Structure 1
Amino acid sequence: MTNRVRSLATRVTASLTTIQQPSSSTATVSNDEEMIVKDSILKRIESFTSHIHNFAVKSPIKHHFQDEDVSRPESPPSDVDADQEENISLANETKTNQYFTYDVKHAQLRVMVLGPGGVTIPEMDRLRHLIPDGTITVMCLTWNVASRSQNHLSKIEKLITSEQSADRADLICLCFQELPSINAYYHQETVKSLAKAVTDTHLIFCWVRKWSQMVIIFIRESLVAYTSTPEWQFISFSPIVKPVRTKGAIAVFFRIFQASVIFVTCHMTHGPVLNRICDYSKICDSLRFSALKKGGTLPCSGVKQADCVFWFGDLNFRLRSRERVDALDSQNKRHENINDSYFDQLLTDDELTLEKCKGNVFEGFSEAYINFPPTHKFILGTNDYVSDRIPSYTDRILYYAKESGRIRPVKYDCLWEENASDHKPVYGFFAMRVLEQRY
């Protein structure tokens, strides 16, 4: 017991013992004298209450379950035009539309244990039920739609909708390039259409459209309470942003359980390979998220500040020679019929592979093994390459993890049967560890 507590106890005891109990002789005490006694008792009680109050306020002892400030930092100022504000939506914001409703019932947890960034960590039993092995599944998909309408999304819907709902990826991130500029509501119709496909298991975590680019993230409903509010940033590769074939990157940052995650989706510049090297450098130098700042300093730059990074989109890296591609005749383009060594030979002419080996781009990033044909450029409505362009692996998915083995690729492929665009959709499934090994 501290000296302060002893002193308080002594004063209370002394105060109470001085109050005399009335004897039988006090029956004749006048009313005035009775009021004096009562007034004396009340003053001592007030004194006692004051001591208790001062002790509670000044005591250095803190309550174990004291409420914590879990307010999240605001996103840094962005270059979103006023007329584009309605094209940005977060699941954590209140919406009346059924496709944009944040279900808060999962946020009412019995135990409020907070991890980095104010992310809720559930009790151990709940944690083992949600993610038994400490990992979640992530799906990334990129598709340059070549200004085609949202009516061509049926194959994408089928891909993200597994017959067994438990087999769906926990996080689903879809990015699209070259949205039709004449359709100002393409993003809303697309979000609604894709949301219906997974509405029984997933919520819209966030979506962002910037001119002709768009990113949508769905999250399993049971996990949304264990994420932070997402931040996003758009980086243009040119001083003047064009509404058609916009070249730039949309990046989204958030935390889930004990992992910080960045999705970088982009449409890089065509032409000489130096253009794409400059685009990559600009993204790395420009990305800043307030939730990644350390010790009150300015937000850290660079994508590698996060634990896990997925970088995908129409990266526009090309094959330098057509000689090996010509071996793909119209009967053998289905990659099931091609030996894997053939794709290894193709990649020896791949700009991204070569520049990565030189350390000019994606240093520290990995890519799953490619065993599918080049995904660009096709004659619309067919699976035939155009004759005046070298078929190339323009659509790619790369990943980075601070800790080795934190991200494990499960599948990497293209939707060969989708021929509405001159690009094939490319998708990947990954296992991502979101809890520390000790858990």
Structure 2
Amino acid sequence: MVTTTAIADLCIFLLTWNVGTHSPRTQELSSLLSLNGTTTCPDNQLPDIYVIGFQEVSTTQVLKIFQDDPWVLKIASTLQDHQFVKVDSKQLQGILITMFAQHKHIPHMKNIESEATRTGLGGLWGNKGAVSIRLSLYGTGVVFVCSHLAAHDDKLKERIEDYHQIVDNHKYSAQGYRSIFDHDFVFWFGDLNFRLSGVMSAWDVRTDVENARYADLLKLDQLNLLREKGNAFSLLEEQQPDFPPTFKFNEGTNDYDLKRRPAWCDRILHRVQSNIYPGITLSANQLSYQSHMDYMLSDHRPVSATFSYKVEAANQTYTDEELHEMTHGAASTPAAPNLFNAELEQW
């Protein structure tokens, strides 16, 4: 009889949102972060970890050393009554990623690193590109990548180039996990800017959307077509969206701005190397994938996903410290987590 021991059993909440340079000042985020009883985590529990990616964060404010972006501060203030701690943040001009975890998980996080890659203007400008956070989480190597790829229908080639540039240039110091796809778990999300192939008019796309013909439209989706051909993102999986295209809306409304064809620009993908360690099974089962139509701040809608993140051992008992030695090497020096909460100051 096989006995299974859970080394980790977590619910991870991912969110991506192109905020169109808007301030979070008037935004109420409790519903967006599933703090109002709408969580899709098992037993209606709050997520163990939040990883949130933003695109087009305003960079007009005077940057202060040691001060977080207003969006990070807003998230911190929203989560502060629920025992969450900021683990790390990384910003590249308007691209931002931040990670919060329940306090009890902090001792199980090591080797925390962040990275950034510019892809705008041939790699000179950070308006496009990616930021990431990687770490040892309960002994396994996990990386979260938030990217903003080249815009417009006719820039598919540039989006593919952006992807490969990010994969090639993101480098980490953790032993055994030097690049993104060395990791046991990869979560990649953001405004990937993929559009619909073909020549359908914006009006025809809207008609299909109004009739919930998402499956037909997704057959034209550039990201799906690329993954099938192996040109980009083919190592990652995606649960197919069952929600309307998240771009492009008239701000403050749920009406599409038909100057652009509606498209699923905002996406969340993942990859798990399930059985690469003897006697250990890794899994990340997706529990939800949804857009948040009530958040009409910008011309994009936020998109979230939750995952059941499990690390299980068969017929043996591992601690996550022992698994860390197996995966990251006994000689690696864990980097201490950043244990301070984001400053809750005015912006």
Same fold judged by TM-score > 0.5?
yes
Q: 2:113 — aligned with what?
A: 231
Residue 97 of structure 2 is aligned to residue 219 of structure 1: no
Query: Shift of the alpha carbon at 1:251?
Result: 1.3
Q: 2:23 — aligned with what?
A: 149
Change (3 A) 1:383 1:168: same
Change (3 A) 1:318 1:327: closer
Query: Shift of the alpha carbon at 1:241?
Result: 1.8
**Which amino acid is 1:149 matched to?**
S
Give the alignment partner of residue 388 of structure 1, picking from 237, 251, 259: 259
Query: Shift of the alpha carbon at 1:152?
Result: 4.6
Q: 1:197 — aligned with what?
A: 78
Report the 3-state secondary structure (helix = DSSP H, G, I; strand = E; otherwise coil) of the residue aligned with 1:279.
Answer: helix
- CA offsets, 1:339-361, max 9 Å, x none? 5xx21111111000011100001
Q: 2:124 — aligned with what?
A: 240
Q: What TM-score do you get using the length of structure 2 for normalisation?
A: 0.78
Is 1:228–1:256's contact at 8 Å kept on the other side of the alignment? yes
CA distance in 2, matches of 1:260, 1:436: 16
Give the alignment partner of residue 171 of structure 1, picking from 19, 42, 49: 49
- How large is the Cα RMSD of the aligned pairs? 2.4
Q: 1:162 — aligned with what?
A: 35
Give the alignment partner of residue 360 of structure 1, picking from 223, 231, 234: 231
Residue 173 of structure 2 is aligned to residue 290 of structure 1: yes
Query: Shift of the alpha carbon at 1:169?
Result: 1.0
Residue 150 of structure 2 is aligned to residue 273 of structure 1: no
Report the 3-state secondary structure (helix = DSSP H, G, I; strand = E; otherwise coil) of the residue aligned with 1:284.
Answer: helix
Q: 1:137 — aligned with what?
A: 11
Change (3 A) 1:325 1:313: farther
Is 2:194–2:223's contact at 8 Å kept on the other side of the alignment? yes
Change (3 A) 1:182 1:259: same
Identity score, percent: 27
Change (3 A) 1:254 1:435: farther
Give the alignment partner of residue 426 of structure 1, picking from 260, 284, 303: 303
CA distance in 1, matches of 2:247, 2:254: 10
Is 1:304–1:402's contact at 8 Å kept on the other side of the alignment? no
Query: Shift of the alpha carbon at 1:275?
Result: 0.6
Equivalent residues in 2 for 1:325-336, closer than 5 Å: 326=204, 328=206, 333=210
Give the alignment partner of residue 249 of structure 1, picking from 121, 126, 130: 130
Q: 1:43 — aligned with what?
A: none
Query: Shift of the alpha carbon at 1:310?
Result: 0.3
**Which amino acid is 1:382 matched to?**
T
| 5+ residue gaps, structure 1 | 1-127, 294-298
Change (3 A) 1:372 1:189: same
CA distance in 1, matches of 2:71, 2:192: 22
Which structure shows the higher helix fraction?
A: 1
Give the alignment partner of residue 285 of structure 2, picking from 408, 418, 431: 408
CA distance in 1, matches of 2:104, 2:70: 25
Change (3 A) 1:261 1:312: same
- CA offsets, 1:24-53, max 9 Å, x none? xxxxxxxxxxxxxxxxxxxxxxxxxxxxxx
Is 1:309–1:399's contact at 8 Å kept on the other side of the alignment? yes
Q: 1:375 — aligned with what?
A: 246
Is 1:266–1:314's contact at 8 Å kept on the other side of the alignment? yes
Report the 3-state secondary structure (helix = DSSP H, G, I; strand = E; otherwise coil) of the residue aligned with 1:150.
Answer: coil
Query: Shift of the alpha carbon at 1:195?
Result: 1.1
CA distance in 1, matches of 2:85, 2:203: 41
CA distance in 2, matches of 1:144, 1:193: 16
Change (3 A) 1:211 1:287: same
Larger relative contact order, structure 1 or 2 (CA cutoff 8 Å, min sep 6): 2
Give the alignment partner of residue 348 of structure 1, picking from 196, 205, 219: 219
Is 1:157–1:194's contact at 8 Å kept on the other side of the alignment? no
Is 1:206–1:218's contact at 8 Å kept on the other side of the alignment? yes
Report the 3-state secondary structure (helix = DSSP H, G, I; strand = E; otherwise coil) of the residue aligned with 1:216.
Answer: strand
- CA offsets, 1:420-439, max 9 Å, x none? 10000011001111344445
Equivalent residues in 2 for 1:66-85, closer than 5 Å: none
Change (3 A) 1:417 1:365: same
Which structure shows the higher strand fraction?
A: 2
Change (3 A) 1:406 1:325: farther
| 5+ residue gaps, structure 2 | 276-281, 318-347
